[in-house]
Amino acid sequence: MERPDLIVAVDFGMAESGKYTIVQIIRSWFNVSGVAFACRRDNAWDIDVYRKWPGCDHENACKVPTRLLYDRGSSSPKLWGFHCQSEHEEESDDNSREKEKRWFKLLLDEKVLDNMGVPGSHADVKRWITDFLHHIYIDFMNHVRNHAILTPKEWRSANVEFVFSIPTTWERQEIIEDFRKIIKDAGFGGEGRTNKIHPVTISLTEASAAAVCTFKDCPEPLKKDQSFIVCDAGGGTTVRIAAKLFLRTAN
């Protein structure tokens, strides 16, 4: 299997995490998403976090608010991410000309949508997620092209792999398939000459990814048959996962 030239990991999130100042968190109290990427240079991986989010005055912002702002009656977002500076507008204000959308990630599960009683259909939720991820894709793709990470020609011909995690609560396969289609509709995987050049992978659940990260960053290396517990306290759900190391190799 051909090794990728660029690996792009997308964290479509709901938690108030990332490197923000306390003032930013208090003022905005937003749920956030992020992108990390690894580019292969001279047989070595250069790993970085995307920080050039439009509308952000702080270069150290590792993540972008998972927010959209629509004009009432419009199906296309007027603003997204940091440009959504409408904290003064309440979603319940029927006289407002604008409507902000956030906290919509878990609503892709129709059971959650029905239980929450949030205005909007399942088709609306899929459109919100598609719109947001499309902005993520376009912004990051332009960054890659404009900062000589990959030229436009290289971007089309390079082996670029997109990786997404999913909430642990998405247990039904139809939810994952809906998310997979949304990712493709948002543009991910669509720039290559074939689907094999820009593959999209939905890999671990978010809790499992947290367990892998904990294992790799553990101050004292775990040994075979050792177990550990990870608590993934997110913006929408909190999940505990217990893991046991059955085999450890050099790789």
54 in any annotated domain: yes
Distance CA 204, CA 210 (A): 9
Establish if 100 belongs to a structural domain. Answer: yes
Q: Residues 150, 235: one domain?
A: no
Q: Which domain holds residue 13?
A: 6-206
The whole-number pLDDT of residue 1 equals 54
Q: Is 120 exposed, middle or buried (0-12, 13-18, 19+ CB in 10 A)?
A: middle
Cα–Cα distance between 213 and 208 in angstroms, integer?
9
Task: Give residue 208's pLDDT.
Answer: 81
Q: CATH number of the domain that 106 lies in?
A: 3.30.420
* Residues 223 and 147 both lie in one domain: no
**Within a domain: residue 249?**
no
Structural domain count, the chain = 2
Shared domain for 95 and 199, answered yes or no, is yes
Residues 178 and 224 grouped into a single domain: no
Phi, psi of 200 (to 5 degrees): -115, 125
Helix (H) or strand (E) holding 169: none
Query: What does the pLDDT read at residue 127?
Result: 96
Two structure tokens written together for 107? 């609503």
**Residue 102 within any structural domain of the chain:** yes
Asked if residue 42 belongs to a domain, the reply is yes
| pLDDT averaged per 10 residues in sequence order, the chain, 251 residues | 83 61 43 86 82 80 89 88 64 59 90 88 95 94 80 78 89 94 91 66 83 79 79 69 65 49
Residue 218 and residue 239 in one domain: yes
Q: Do 71 and 125 reside in the same domain of the chain?
A: yes
Is 239 found in the same domain as 183? no
SS3 33: strand
250 within domain boundaries: no
Query: Is 178 in the same domain as 228?
Result: no
pTM: 0.81
Give me the pLDDT at residue 77, please: 92
Same domain, 67 and 104: yes
Q: Which pLDDT value is given to residue 248?
A: 55
180 and 226, same domain (yes or no): no
Tell me if 184 is assigned to some domain: yes
Instruction: Classify residue 219: in a domain, yes or no.
Output: yes
Phi, psi of 126 (to 5 degrees): -65, -35
Are 29 and 127 found together in one domain?
A: yes
Residue 129 confidence (pLDDT): 96
In a shared domain, residues 182 and 220: no
